[in-house]
């Protein structure tokens, strides 16, 4: 199928998912929709997944691509709006990143809201990083990568490590990150109805499920509103039609030297979607960035 035709098919299917997500009024419904979407959209990769790993109270598992050297490690923070997890989507995405960059991945299985609201997820993510450091992993060989809500958690974890005087990873990779849960970016209005996956009302519900009764300007919830000094080199990417595009653009302005790419017409976390040529190209660019930061 030609790239243009594949993009059209994906967009039409995403619009159907957008309609269903807009009607979902509980985390359970969102989780069910994501599980159904995984069968249609998720990448296909060959990899080994380890048994669960205990990390100072947090959990995770290793994702090792077959036949690739592993010079570095990607500590991965999965998306899912802080309320859902899909191994069918995120394990293959991490495997693809590892295959192309020559790394292995450690996926964090952080606790999900609303059963475990903020700060459970960022606490688990910080515990995982602290475990890596105390276990003896070289931070210069580790990259934090995350998509959507996971991009938020990756940045929050790096900021907390900086503030507590702990070593930082070699780099950050944030794909379509959710960085401002006050949703003050202009694209939240401008792209409402244009974004093929989400409506603004859907995002607002997720914020309340994640951090009910909390001040959403807290940088631990909305890291875009925090201090950006002394963070590792960062790669940012997003699609031009995303509701949350301005989260990426505003962070790019605040992080001097960030490598930022806006992909025309691409949906939220498009590198995770099977069959998109642009997704393969984005993974290749991410892999080059990771390799630059983790190789001798």
pLDDT tens digits, one per residue of 97-107 = 999 999 999 99
What is the 3-class SS of 117-170, one letter each residue? CCCHHHHHHHHHHHHHHHHCCCHHHEEEEEECHHHHHHHHHHHHHHHCCCCCCC
Handedness of CA 213, 214, 217, 223 (dihedral sign): negative
Task: For residue 251, give both structure tokens.
Answer: 């962070």
pLDDT confidence of residue 2 = 56
d(CA 195, CA 119) in angstroms, rounded, equals 29
Q: Which domains does the chain have, with CATH numbers?
A: 3-294 (3.40.50.1820)
Instruction: Compute the mean pLDDT over every residue in the chain, rounded to the nearest whole number.
Output: 92
**Token digits of residue 246:** 């301005």
Cα 145-254-264 angle, rounded to 5 deg: 65
The pLDDT, as a whole number, for residue 201 is 86
pTM of the model: 0.95
For 156, what's the count of Cα atoms within 13 Å in the CB-facing half-sphere? Answer: 30
- Tell me how far apart the alpha carbons of residues 246 and 251 are, in angstroms, rounded to a whole number: 8
Per-residue pLDDT of 148-206, as tens digits, reads 999 999 999 999 999 999 999 999 999 999 999 999 999 999 999 888 888 888 888 99
Please state, in angstroms and rounded to a whole number, the distance separating the CA atoms of residues 179 and 216: 11
Catalytic residues: 148, 242, 268
């Amino acid at each position: 199928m030609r790239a243009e035709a594949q993009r059209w098919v994906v967009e039409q299917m995403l619009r159907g998912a957008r309609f269903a997500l807009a009607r979902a009024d509980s985390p359970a419904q969102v989780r069910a929709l994501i599980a159904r979407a995984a069968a249609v959209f998720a990448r296909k990769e060959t990899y080994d997944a380890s048994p669960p790993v205990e990390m100072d109270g947090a959990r995770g598992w290793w994702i090792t691509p077959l036949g690739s050297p592993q010079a570095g490690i990607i500590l991965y923070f999965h998306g899912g709006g802080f309320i859902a997890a899909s191994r069918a989507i995120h394990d293959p995405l991490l495997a693809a990143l590892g295959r192309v960059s020559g790394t292995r991945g450690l996926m964090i299985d952080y606790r999900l809201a609303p059963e475990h609201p903020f700060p459970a997820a960022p606490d688990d993510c910080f515990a995982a990083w602290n475990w890596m450091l105390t276990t003896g992993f070289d931070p210069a060989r580790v990259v934090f990568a995350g998509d959507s809500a996971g991009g938020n958690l990756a940045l929050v974890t790096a900021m907390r490590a900086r503030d507590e005087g702990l070593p930082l990873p070699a780099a950050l990779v944030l794909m379509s990150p959710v960085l401002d849960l006050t949703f003050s970016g202009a694209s939240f209005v401008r792209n409402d109805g244009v974004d093929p996956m989400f409506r603004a009302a859907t995002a607002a519900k997720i914020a309340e499920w994640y951090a009910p009764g909390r001040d959403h300007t807290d940088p631990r919830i909305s890291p875009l509103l925090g201090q950006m000094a002394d963070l590792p080199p960062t790669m940012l990417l997003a699609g031009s039609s995303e509701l949350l595009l301005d989260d990426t653009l505003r962070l790019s302005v605040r992080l001097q030297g960030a490598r930022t790419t806006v992909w025309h017409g691409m949906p939220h976390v498009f590198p995770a979607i099977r069959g998109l040529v642009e997704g393969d190209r984005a993974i290749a660019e991410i892999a080059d960035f990771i390799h630059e930061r983790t190789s001798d």
